[in-house]
Amino acid sequence: MRFQVVILAAGQGKRMHSDLPKVLHTLAGKPLIAHVVATARAIGAEQICIVHGHGGEQVQAALSGKDLAYALQSPQLGTGHALQQALPRLTKVPATLVLYGDVPLVRPATLQALLEAAGDGVAVLTAEPDDPDGYGRILRNKAGRVTGIVEQKDATAAQRRIREINTGIMALPTARLARWLPQLQNKNAQKEYYLTDIIALAVKDRVPVAGLKAADASEILGVNSRAQLAQLERTYQWQQAAQLLDAGVTLVDPLRFDLRGTLRCGRDVHIDVNCVFEGDVVLADGVSIGAHCVLKDVAIGAGTRIEPFCHVDGAGIGAHCRIGPYARIRPGTRLAAEVHIGNFVEIKASDIGGGSKANHLSYVGDATVGRNVNIGAGTITCNYDGANKHRTVIEDDVHIGSDVQLVAPVRVARGATVGAGTTVWRDTLPGGLVINAKTQEHRAAWQRPRKTGKPKS
């Protein structure tokens, strides 16, 4: 079935106590409304119309795509009024699916089932949460057909005892919708135009109304406060953790795990507590991630171990490497197999050859490092001259002592050994020892300075 989506996103979100529009607050590192847009695209919406109000320019700036259209709702006079503002933007495709910018967890499969249930008529997504308080209630006849929706503030005591609630998500026939929307009235406690009144109009026109109950009530959870956003974050993260556990990944504590992108794992992957995964992360077979690591847009080869407290961003890590603890691997870095990067070592925009090591307190930036190179503690590549970056080349089998400065552009030739404390500012010859001339003297009569004591009062 051809269909379009309308996302209602005009609410100010006063309970968020924020200058940021509610739908731009983030879930798993991405704006709430971006999750909804992604779901709409995943199920094949031909067009997505976003009804905005408060902070509309910010909402538009946060999203992109030729399939997006926008409609302004000002003032905000209810959900029916919001859809009235979208009406001029709608195309003539058969069905219109109504979603909400602050309800990000509804699954594509659920929405596809809702569209199928609607057919040429109307379908409403319902749920039975543990606590229905605050939601509109679904009214059904003796045959089980949906006959209407009553908002809680307008409901009788008997109607408030109904547990099946309206989620607000609907599939509607576009042509009839254009005729129903002008008929909405605001004769209710809120003096608003309710989209839910469409159901009564459909029943009056003898259009079939289906009610599809969501399999999991968490799909319809929305956000009205910071507390609800925090709860939704944990719900989302638990869902992601459960999928990984089902796939065979070891999560030491699924409640202390955060995914803010995509994570693909091979067999026997082990992830310790409080790790954050951002962007697109791939962990091959047998990878182990220590506690408190942050990995962003990285692919890690089989058997590699990332020790605790490492940050790896925009890098490719080969098989059987050992990283950390407390290492930082920055964008543009490529490590070949069996590389060791140790504690408090930073690598940036560099290629490190197989079997090479930088185990302690070093900085390697804008460098090409060959195979079986050993980089001693305190070594730095001086890659920036104050205006431009320059490259350092270290060829195979080089041994670099501690506290060495490599002033780029410079090349350390194959097999050379660079002595401790050396500053290398010219290309070296292959093999042999590279040192700076040094002198050492002993001054027997020298006295160490002493602190001057404060005069006694």
The catalytic residue positions are 360
The two three-digit tokens of residue 376, written as one number: 């001693």
Contact 212, 117 (CB under 8 A): yes
Helix and strand counts by DSSP (H, E) for the chain: 8, 38
Residues 6+ apart with CB under 8 A from 182: 84
Question: Tokens for 280?
Answer: 């697109």
In terms of Cα–Cα distance, which of 223, 110, 115 is closest to 171? 115
Query: Among candidates 220, 243, 86, 232, which has minimal Cα distance to 164?
Result: 220
Rounded to whole angstroms, the Cα distance separating 315 from 330 reads 7
* DSSP string computed for 11-32: ---GGG-SSS-GGGSEETTEEH
Distance CA 457, CA 445 (A): 34
Give the integer Cα–Cα distance in Å for 118 and 313. Answer: 45
CA-to-CA separations, 439 to 104, 235, 358, 426, 443, in angstroms, rounded: 68, 65, 28, 21, 13
- The answer to whether 251 and 238 are in contact (CB under 8 A) is no
The amino acid sitting at 191 is K
Rg (the chain; Cα; Å): 31
Six-digit token pair at 81? Answer: 């009024």
Write out the two tokens for 309. 């407290």
Burial annotation 191-216 (CB, 10 A radius, 16+ → b, else e): ebbbbbbbbbbbbeeebebbbbebee
